[in-house]
Structure 1
Amino acid sequence: MKKLATLTSSIIAVLFLYLLFWPTALKPETWTAPPNPGYTGDFASNTLLQAVEVRHLSCPECEDIAIDSSGRVYGAAVDGRLLRYDSPDADPVELVNTGGRPLGLDFDQAGNLYIADARKGLLRYSTDGQLEELVNSYDGQPFGFTDDLEVGPDGKVYFSDASDRWAIESYKLDILEHLPVGKLYVYDPLTKELDLLLDKLYFANGIALAADTFFVLVNETSSYRTLRYYLKGEKGGTVDTFIQGLPAFPDGISRGSDGIFWLAMISPRNSLIDDLSEWPFLRKAIARLPNWLQPAPATHAGVLGINSQGEVIYNIQDPDGKFSQISSVQEWNGHLYFGSLGREGIGYLKTFQ
């Protein structure tokens, strides 16, 4: 028994030393997490999202969706396929496989589909069925994690690079590290010019343009907020906060009708991550844990409808997470469509009124 106790103590000691001192690429800095409002006030918990229907199960982990002028739904599957659904009950039409991980999707006015691919960069699937890699680096540095995009009426493409340190497979490490290594770009397909609009972003994610292109929004997932970058006017070239202090990690954002921006809250904030924001040494210890022991997304699902002044107009949730880990939301003819990083298929909510 004494030998067994000694062996057990030795194993515990080795594990303890491993968690504290084993080399890791993580370089976390001290920060202070903002207060978590929880699901109260404008974010009060409700069950409106439990009415969601789940369609198109043939699209696994459709992180983003797009809808063309005919109402056909497009999904970006985890295995690289771009799928089109011509009706709610239709079998999928496979358009192309990017060979990477397609995330953000959006059409230009000519019907070309632009793709933010986490591994390939900015792509375009043209109306004649050709897939083209447009740009995958800036100033000689490859993109690390191309995430979301929106195409403006002039054809310019606004897109985010979530992290120049961590690839999509290691997104948890980027959140744990909490360094400002995300970026917001704009690409002009006519001139092929790529410009950096914002850098030093904390997990740059969802992108949405104002209807008049006066500003562009970008979500900072690991800071629980949305920033607004002004493209025109006296404030052109400056940035402010659109909405902050969210109770969850914001993911995708899109512009709907009546000036409403739809914000996907992929998962509630994690109290452990917040509590350790000022303890980088302990966050490094978490990074040394196996992935299955690290903090994981919870199933509480929710989306917000926010007006152009940053005020919450719609609050749609499901604490039970019938369709959870919602990563994107699109409005079409008064209905909502949802993509998810953790579920198969595409969510559909008949009305949000």
Structure 2
Amino acid sequence: MGMRPQLHHLTAAMVAVVVTAWLAYNPGVRPSDDIPKTSVAVGVSDAYKMVLIENGGAVGPESFAFDPHGKGPYAGVSDGRIMKWDILENHWVDFAVTSSNRVDECRGSYKEHAKNEHICGRPLGLCFNMASGQLYVADAYMGLVVIEPNGGTATKLISHAVQDQPLGFTNGLDIDQNTGAVYFTTSSSKYERRNYVSLILSGDKSGRVIKYEPKSKEITVLVNNLTFPNGVALSKDGNYILIVETTKCRILRYWLETPKAGTLEVFANLPGFGDNIKRSPRGGFWVGIHSKRETFIKWILSYPWIGKGLVMLPLDMTKMYSYLAKIKGSSGMAIRLSDEGDVLEVVEDDRSGNRKSISEAEEKDGILWLGSVDASFAIKYNIPMTQE
């Protein structure tokens, strides 16, 4: 019996070496290889502009939102700030912060931001209530917070445990503009955002979708036992919400109305690790794909003991993955799906050399804003007239 734990640790260590080598040297396949050929694939480098996050050295405009006046976009970045794009001045300006306990280190080097996320905050999903002008934010550490129309410091709404499970990693959100109800995800009750790679490898199933009613303050858990739920989007008619389940590379549909109310089904399978999801004004939904789930990763995830073994190792898996991803390059893309889950359009940066993950695609007035958790810029992409 004494040898078994040692064998398990040795096996895990060997797997770690193999994974490390693969991530570093496997060139992978083109992100669009398993996208249906009937979809429209366009290279971002055809008509794009990089909008640098030049104010303060932060990175990672993960999600976008436009205010009731159409101004913006607004984006959360790695040091806990919400920034607003000033179209007249052509640069980003500070708008708000999600934490009231900020310290000097919050404005330090990006390399130090992950260490202070629990203090400075890390804003992820954003959405305005168009009636009140308030900006609701899913902050990975502060929970669900709200910012008044003039900006400033956010007010915490839900940061405590819900039904005895902590909000370990608050992530995506959307708002029913008719009722004001907020739908948001908590990706895990065990792992924090900075340990997202361990969250994926472990197969953790503590993710949830929660509904918050601002008027009554009522909190309802709609869906339990999800594996890394991420972005969430309400359908145009309000009959259902779509939930991106990152680890399983798929989108789930949870019915709110109709005779199917309260049921959950698979809406679409994705070619990679999905992140945020937003409705398109042209119909359907835009999904940001962080990176391709290649054959070797599929194999790792199909054997839970391997991932759990890797998590047990005395290594910072997220830091190691980030380092290797820089060497290998991410293979992110954005996909527009129809209301039936069919692929309509694909946008990927396949030629510019700026191979980064894509966390979100927000469409506004013929422009697609592409975000990323690890880039020092947002991409402003002009949608070709033939696709409008």
TM-score norm. by structure 2 comes to 0.77
Task: Show the 5 A alignment for 1:218-237.
Answer: 218-237=243-262
How far is the alpha carbon of 1:286 from its aligned partner? 2.8
Match of 2:189 in 1: 164
CA RMSD of aligned residues (A): 2.4
2: CA distance, partners of 1:313 / 1:85: 29
Structure 1 pair 146–351 and aligned structure 2 pair: CA distance change class (3 A): same
How far is the alpha carbon of 1:118 from its aligned partner? 0.3
How far is the alpha carbon of 1:91 from its aligned partner? 3.4
Candidates 45, 48, 68, aligned match of 2:43: 48
Structure 1 pair 76–234 and aligned structure 2 pair: CA distance change class (3 A): same
The AA in structure 1 aligned to 2:149 is T
Match of 2:124 in 1: 103
Structure 1 pair 234–93 and aligned structure 2 pair: CA distance change class (3 A): same
Task: Show the 5 A alignment for 1:20-169.
Answer: 20=11, 39-42=33-36, 46-51=41-46, 52-58=48-54, 60-68=59-67, 69-87=69-87, 89-98=89-98, 99-109=120-130, 110-129=132-151, 131-136=154-159, 137-153=161-177, 154-169=179-194
Q: Which moved more, 1:200-209 or 1:313-322?
A: 313-322
CA contact (8 A) 1:286 1:294 kept: no
Q: Which of the pair is proportionally richer in helix?
A: 2
1:40 match: secondary structure: coil
1: CA distance, partners of 2:330 / 2:64: 20
CA contact (8 A) 1:302 1:318 kept: yes
CA contact (8 A) 1:45 1:319 kept: no
The AA in structure 1 aligned to 2:261 is G
2: CA distance, partners of 1:181 / 1:122: 18
Match of 1:29 in 2: none
Runs of 4+ residues deviating >4 angstroms = 15-22, 43-47, 292-298
CA contact (8 A) 2:42 2:346 kept: no
1:303 match: secondary structure: strand
2: CA distance, partners of 1:54 / 1:88: 17
How far is the alpha carbon of 1:139 from its aligned partner? 2.0
2: CA distance, partners of 1:323 / 1:349: 15
Match of 2:286 in 1: 262
How far is the alpha carbon of 1:335 from its aligned partner? 1.3
Task: Show the 5 A alignment for 1:199-348.
Answer: 199-244=224-269, 246-287=270-311, 288=313, 289-291=315-317, 292-294=319-321, 297=325, 298-320=329-351, 322=354, 324-348=356-380
How far is the alpha carbon of 1:140 from its aligned partner? 3.4
Give the number of equivalent residue pairs: 324
| Percent identity (aligned) | 29
2: CA distance, partners of 1:231 / 1:290: 39
Structure 1 pair 290–115 and aligned structure 2 pair: CA distance change class (3 A): closer
* CA distances 1:125-183 after superposition (whole Å, capped 9, x unpaired): 01243521001231233201000101111110000001111000110011001132110
How far is the alpha carbon of 1:93 from its aligned partner? 2.2
2: CA distance, partners of 1:194 / 1:17: 42
Structure 1 pair 41–294 and aligned structure 2 pair: CA distance change class (3 A): closer
* CA distances 1:55-104 after superposition (whole Å, capped 9, x unpaired): 03225111111122323211101000111112175333212222311100
CA contact (8 A) 1:323 1:347 kept: no
2: CA distance, partners of 1:91 / 1:124: 24
Note the residue ranges of structure 1 that are not aligned, 5 or more in a row. Answer: 1-14, 23-36
Note the residue ranges of structure 2 that are not aligned, 5 or more in a row. Answer: 1-5, 14-30, 99-119
How far is the alpha carbon of 1:284 from its aligned partner? 3.4
2:90 match: secondary structure: coil
CA contact (8 A) 2:203 2:304 kept: no
TM-score norm. by structure 1 comes to 0.85
2: CA distance, partners of 1:85 / 1:131: 19
Q: Which moved more, 1:179-188 or 1:67-76?
A: 67-76
1:286 match: secondary structure: helix
2:127 match: secondary structure: strand
